[in-house]
Structure 1
Amino acid sequence: MTPLLRRILDELAADDAVLDELVKVARSQSPEVARLPEAENRRHVQVLLSAALRATASPDGPAREDYTTAEALGADRAAQGVPLTDLLRGVQAGRTHAARVAVERARAAGVPDDVILETVLDADRYTGALEHHIVKGYHAAELQLSRTVRDARTQLLRTLLLAGDPPAPEELRQAGLRPGGRYHCVVSDVSDPAQARTLEQALLEFGGVYGLVEGRLTGLAARPPAGVTLTGDARLVVAPATALPALREVHGLCTAAARIAGPGCHDLTVLAGEIALTAQPLLGDLLTASLLPALDTANPFHRELAATALAYLDHGRRLRPTAEALHLHPNTVRYRLDRLAELTPLPLAENSDSRVLDTVRSWWALQHWLSRPVT
C-alpha cells in the first residue's frame, strides 16, 4: 500500500462525518438495528471500521484481538435481541458505503485504479472475516442465552411490551409475575450488556422481571425503585403501577420519556408535558415559525435571549429566582426579556394576564427553537 493511500484511509477512519454517514446508512437499512441507541450503533461501526483498516495495513490481516472484538459485538447484539439477519443487513450496508467513500477519496487524490482495486479486495476479504466472527459470537451467545432463565424472562418481557400475543397466565407465573397484578414499567437508556446486568441486580431488590428490550434495560418492578443507584449519565424512567394489558402503551411512553430526560431517575408523569409536546414536532415547527420568525439560530445573542426567557418561564415568571439560577443580575434578566419582547410577540411580563395555555405556547416555541441545530 502506498503512503498516500495509507494516509487517505487513516483520515477516513478518523473522520466523524464519515462515521456519522455509516451509522445513518446502517440504521436506515435495518429497522431492528435502528431501535438501538445511536451511540451503540456508533460504537459498533467505529470498532469494525478501525479493525478493517488496521487489517488492510498489516500483511497478516486482522489481529486475534480484532476477531475477539467482533465476536463480542455479535454476542452483544444477540443479548440485545437484534435478529441476526437485521444485524448482518446493517453491517453489510455500512461495509458497502465505507468502500464507496474510500474509493472516491482515493481517486480524487490520484491513487492509481489498480492500487485501489487491490486494496478494496483486501479490505473486503478482511471485513468478510470479521463478519464471520460477528456471526460466530452471535450464535455462541444465542446458544448460551437460550439455556438460561433470563432469556425466557426477557422473551416474555418483549412479548408483553412489544408485538405478539399476550403470554398465558402460566407463563407469567413461571416468570414470577401475577396475571392480575399491577407493575411499574421501568425503561433505562443503558444498552451495554455488562452495565445492564449491574443495573438489573440493583433493580431486582424491588421485585419484578428485567431484560433488554429494544436494546435498553427494561423491566416491570413490583415496587417503585426509589433510590436505585445509577452510574454515570444513565437515565431511568419509572411509570405508575399499571395492569399488564395496558403495559404496551405505557412502555411506549416510557421509551419516549427516556429519549428526552436528563441523567437520573424520573417519574413518567413528571415528564408528561415534554412527552406530549415532543410527539408533535411539525406543530412545534409551525409554532416556532409563527412566534419567533425574527430569531436566528446562528446568532449567539438570540440564543442567549431565548434561553433566558425559557428559564424565566421555568421559574414561574419570577425575576430573582431566574437570575439566581442563571448567575445573573435581575436587571440583566429584565433587559434580555425586554429585548426579546421587541423581537417577538411572546407575553413575558411579570404581571402578564396571559392564560396558562399562552405560557405553554411560549415555553414550547422557545424550547423547540433552542433544540434546533445551529445553521
Structure 2
Amino acid sequence: MPGQADTTAPLERVIGAMAAQQGPLGGRLHADLVEQIPSYRAVPRELLDQIWHLHVQRALSVVRKGTVPAPEDFGEADVARDRVARGVPLGDGLRAFRRALSAIRDLFIAEATGHGLDPGLIVDRTRCLWELADVASLRIAAVHRQAEVAAAVFDARRRADFLRGLLYGTLSAAEIHSGAAIYGLDPLRRYRAVRALPDGDVGPDALERSLEAHGRRNGRAALLTVLDEAVVGLVEAKPETGDLEVTAGLGPPTDLDAVHRSFRAAGRMLAAARAYGLRGVYDLSDLSWRVAVVAEPELAELLLDRYLRPLEAEGEFGALIEESVRAYLEGGRRVREVARGAHVHVNTVRYRLRRFEELTGTSLDAPDTAVELGWALAARELGRASRGRAGPAHDGIP
C-alpha cells in the first residue's frame, strides 16, 4: 500500500470532490429509483435524501480509512422498519442500496483517476467499497427480515385484538368501522361468526391457514385468528373444509356490530357438534333442536328416565324395542318399512311398539310423546358419543 504521507492530500481532494457532488448525484439517483423500482414511490423524498447522505458519509469514511465497519455497526433497523411498513420488499431495498453504492463507487473511480491518485490506492479503496456493499447488504437483509417478522407479529396481534373485541362485542362503532377498513371487511355485508377446533394431528395455526386458503379458493372472504386454541373469526359463507379433520360451529349472518351474537351462537353449535362427536361445519339448520339437548342435561335425564330406562329391565329385548321405536320415528311411522329394514315380520314390530307403550305408559300416537321420545333418543346418542370421546365435549371452547 502506498505511504500515508504521499497519499493523504490527494485522497482528501478526491473525498472533497465526491462530497461536493453528493446533492446532484443524489437527485439523479432518486429519479432513477422511482422510475426503476416502483415500490420506492411510497418512500418520501426527504427520507431517501437522509439515507443517501448516510450512505455517502459511510463510503467516504471507508475511502479515507481503508477499513469497512463491522456488521453490528450498521444501524439500519429504523430504515428497515420504515421500508417494511411502506411495503417495500427486501429485494427492492437491496437493489436500491446497490444502485446507491455503485453510483458512489463509480464517482470515486472517476474522481480518483481525474486527480491522478495512485493506481494501487484506487484498487485498494475500490475493493473496500465492494466489501462495504457486501457487508452492508447482508446486514440490511438481516434487519429487514427481522423487521418483517416483527411487523407480521404486530399485525397478527392487532388483528387478533380487533377480532376479539368484535366477537365479544367490546368495540365502539368507530373502532368497528376503522378495523373493517384495515382488514377488508365491508360494513354493508353480513358476516357469520365461526368457531373451529382441530380433531386430528393438525394444530390450530395450521387449521387457520387451511380455512383461509379454502375461503380464498372459493372466493369467500374470511378473517380468522387463533384464540384459546380455537380458530375463530368471520366468514361470508359456510366454510368448505375438504379433508380437514375439524369440528366447527357457525353462527347466523349478522351485521358487523351484531357479530358478537353470532359468535355466541357459533359457540353453542360447536359445543353441540363436539358433544355428538361430529366432524365438519354445523349451524342451527344442521343441528336444530339437538342443540337444546346438549344445553339442557337435566331435562334430558328426565326424558331418559321416562322413555328409555324402563326398557333396560327387558335386557336384550329392551334394546330391540328401542331400535324399533327409533326406526319407527325416523322412518315416518311406517311399520312395514321398519320390519323390512330389521328383516322381521310386521307383527314383530307391532308387538315391540305395543310393548314400549306398556312399559312407559305412553302412546306413540301422542304428539308430545314423539317430541319427548325424540329428545330422549338424541340424549342417548349424545351419551354414547361422549363415552367414545377421549376428553370432555367442551374442551377448548371459549
Normalized against structure 1, the TM-score is what?
Answer: 0.50
Cα distance in 1 for partners of 2:290, 2:315 equals 26
**Is the Cα contact below 8 Å between 1:346 and 1:362 reproduced in 2?**
no
**Aligned-partner residue type, residue 234 of structure 1:** V
Residue aligned with 1:294, SS: helix
Cα distance in 2 for partners of 1:271, 1:161 equals 22
Counterpart for residue 162 of structure 1? 168
Normalized against structure 2, the TM-score is what?
Answer: 0.48
Which among 231, 246, 259 is matched to residue 217 of structure 1? 231
Counterpart for residue 370 of structure 2? 359
Counterpart for residue 263 of structure 2? 251
User: Is 1:368 aligned to residue 384 of structure 2?
Assistant: no
Counterpart for residue 289 of structure 1? 305
**Is the Cα contact below 8 Å between 1:306 and 1:370 reproduced in 2?**
no
Q: Which whole-Å deviations, capped at 9, do the CAs of 1:274-297 have from their partners, x for residues lacking one? A: 112321111222233334452439
Aligned residues: 224
Compared CA separation, residues 323 and 220, structure 1 to 2 (3 A): farther
Which among 247, 251, 268 is matched to residue 239 of structure 1? 251
**Is the Cα contact below 8 Å between 2:252 and 2:265 reproduced in 1?**
no
Q: Which moved more, 1:171-180 or 1:233-242?
A: 233-242
User: Is 1:149 aligned to residue 155 of structure 2?
Assistant: yes
Give the Å deviation of 1:207: 0.7
Structure 1 gaps, min length 5 = 1-142
Give the Å deviation of 1:202: 0.7
Cα distance in 2 for partners of 1:282, 1:346 equals 21
Give the Å deviation of 1:163: 6.0
Cα distance in 1 for partners of 2:155, 2:351 equals 62
Cα distance in 2 for partners of 1:154, 1:298 equals 56
Counterpart for residue 60 of structure 1? none
Give the Å deviation of 1:145: 8.9
User: Is 1:183 aligned to residue 191 of structure 2?
Assistant: yes
Cα distance in 2 for partners of 1:196, 1:243 equals 23
Q: Which whole-Å deviations, capped at 9, do the CAs of 1:49-89 have from their partners, x for residues lacking one? A: xxxxxxxxxxxxxxxxxxxxxxxxxxxxxxxxxxxxxxxxx
**Is the Cα contact below 8 Å between 1:186 and 1:254 reproduced in 2?**
yes
Counterpart for residue 142 of structure 2? none
Which among 234, 259, 282 is matched to residue 266 of structure 1? 282
User: Is 1:208 aligned to residue 222 of structure 2?
Assistant: yes
Identity of aligned residues (%): 27
Compared CA separation, residues 283 and 319, structure 1 to 2 (3 A): same
Structure 2 gaps, min length 5 = 1-148, 388-398
User: Is 1:318 aligned to residue 307 of structure 2?
Assistant: no
**Is the Cα contact below 8 Å between 2:196 and 2:231 reproduced in 1?**
yes
Give the Å deviation of 1:148: 5.1
Residue aligned with 1:317, SS: coil
Cα distance in 1 for partners of 2:196, 2:343 equals 35
Residue aligned with 2:289, SS: helix
Q: Which whole-Å deviations, capped at 9, do the CAs of 1:309-338 have from their partners, x for residues lacking one? A: 2343223223355456x6544635444433
**Aligned-partner residue type, residue 222 of structure 1:** E
Compared CA separation, residues 371 and 271, structure 1 to 2 (3 A): closer
Counterpart for residue 172 of structure 1? 180
Compared CA separation, residues 337 and 360, structure 1 to 2 (3 A): same
**Aligned-partner residue type, residue 211 of structure 1:** T
Q: Which whole-Å deviations, capped at 9, do the CAs of 1:163-222 have from their partners, x for residues lacking one? A: 634543212221222334311223323272223322231124311311223422223112
Compared CA separation, residues 153 and 299, structure 1 to 2 (3 A): farther
**Is the Cα contact below 8 Å between 2:193 and 2:233 reproduced in 1?**
yes
**Aligned-partner residue type, residue 254 of structure 2:** T
Matches for 1:1-375 after TM superposition, within 5 Å: 147=153, 149-162=155-168, 164-166=170-172, 167-190=175-198, 192-193=203-204, 194-204=206-216, 205-225=219-239, 228-231=240-243, 233-261=245-273, 262-296=278-312, 299=315, 301-322=317-338, 328-329=343-344, 331=346, 333-348=349-364, 352=365, 354-355=366-367, 357-372=368-383
Cα distance in 1 for partners of 2:282, 2:171 equals 30
**Is the Cα contact below 8 Å between 2:192 and 2:251 reproduced in 1?**
yes
Residue aligned with 2:224, SS: strand
